[in-house]
Amino acid sequence: MTDSVSDWHRLAGTSVLLDGFHAVKHAVRFGADIPVAVSVDRAAALALADELAPDVREALAGLLVEVPQDTYRALVPRPHPTAVAALAVRPAREANLRALARTPRTAPVIVLDQPRNLGNAGAVIRLAAGFGATGVVTTGTLDPWHPTVVRGGAGLHFATAVERLTVDELPPGPVFALDPEGEDIRGLKLPDDAVLAFGSERTGLSAELRERTDHLVSLPMRPQVSSYNLATSVGMTLFHWSAS
Ligand SMILES: C[S@@+](CC[C@H](N)C(=O)[O-])C[C@H]1O[C@@H](n2cnc3c(N)ncnc32)[C@H](O)[C@@H]1O
């Protein structure tokens, strides 16, 4: 137990915090390197694994170290009801860049152009993981590995390639940018190598992104409504890609 706590203190500043059973479960399932994991009630956490995630039960049994409630609360800023937490090694940027640039691509890359809301970014990473997207790229100042984004992504940053890039550095592939003024998505087939770009919550698509755009695409919406939420727009677009 003492070793795990000192490992935690040594690694916390440079690692990805996985908060709660589901985040740890997803990270284990998608191959994250997890040097330390703690739980207030190891038996309860393993019982949860038996019930919800038997595929990772053995791995969790090898990782989880029981710590007292006070120790857990001191390690994790916003303790999760499941009282399970872990630290994971952030995947190397070079590996993510290789995954994003690899062609031919079998699933789109999502670009969030200057997003502002950390919860939206997490929700998009979860969607991208669910649909098997190649990756999620953000432009602008938001860090897609911010702890609040990782929390919103439920540990699924490890199931796709997540990086921040400039518009000039976007991966190859035709850019389909989503905007209410575009062509109706229902008449289009989105190719597997598409780069699907979405604008910021406040101001929509930036001028740089518009310059890189090959096709401007809209989601159906009645005239009196101005726009959809960013993550909702990504969900609809990925669903359309998957269904056509
Ligand atoms: C909350 S909206 C941005 C609203 C912003 N005020 C604007 O001027 O565009 C965030 C992003 O979601 C996507 N989006 C929202 N509604 C859309 C729609 N009906 N069609 C296509 N994209 C949409 C766009 O990419 C948009 O930039």
What kind of architecture, by CATH, is found in domain 93-243?
A: 3-Layer(aba) Sandwich (3.40)
> Which pLDDT value is given to residue 78?
84
Give CATH for domain 2-88: 3.30.1330
User: Can you give the residue ranges of every domain in the chain?
Assistant: 2-88, 93-243
Indicate whether 132 pLDDT > 70.
Answer: yes
State whether the beta carbon of 30 lies less than 6 angstroms from ligand 1: no
State whether the beta carbon of 161 lies less than 6 angstroms from ligand 1: no
pLDDT digits (tens, 9 = 90+) for 33-80: 999 999 999 999 999 999 999 999 999 999 999 999 999 999 998 888
> Which pLDDT value is given to residue 182?
97
Residue nearest to atom 9 of ligand 1 (CA): 204
> Confidence band (pLDDT; 50, 70, 90) for 230?
very high
pLDDT digits (tens, 9 = 90+) for 79-100: 888 999 999 999 999 999 999 9
Residue with tokens 């950390």: 118
Q: 18: CA distance to ligand 1 center in Å?
A: 30
> Which pLDDT value is given to residue 1?
67
Q: What percent of the chain has pLDDT over 90?
A: 95
> Which pLDDT value is given to residue 94?
97
Greater pLDDT, 221 or 1: 221
The per-residue DSSP string of 135-195 comes to EEEEESS--TTSHHHHHHTTTGGGGSEEEE--GGGPPSS-EEEEEEEEEEGGG----TT-E
Q: 205: CA distance to ligand 1 center in Å?
A: 8
State whether the beta carbon of 198 lies less than 6 angstroms from ligand 1: yes
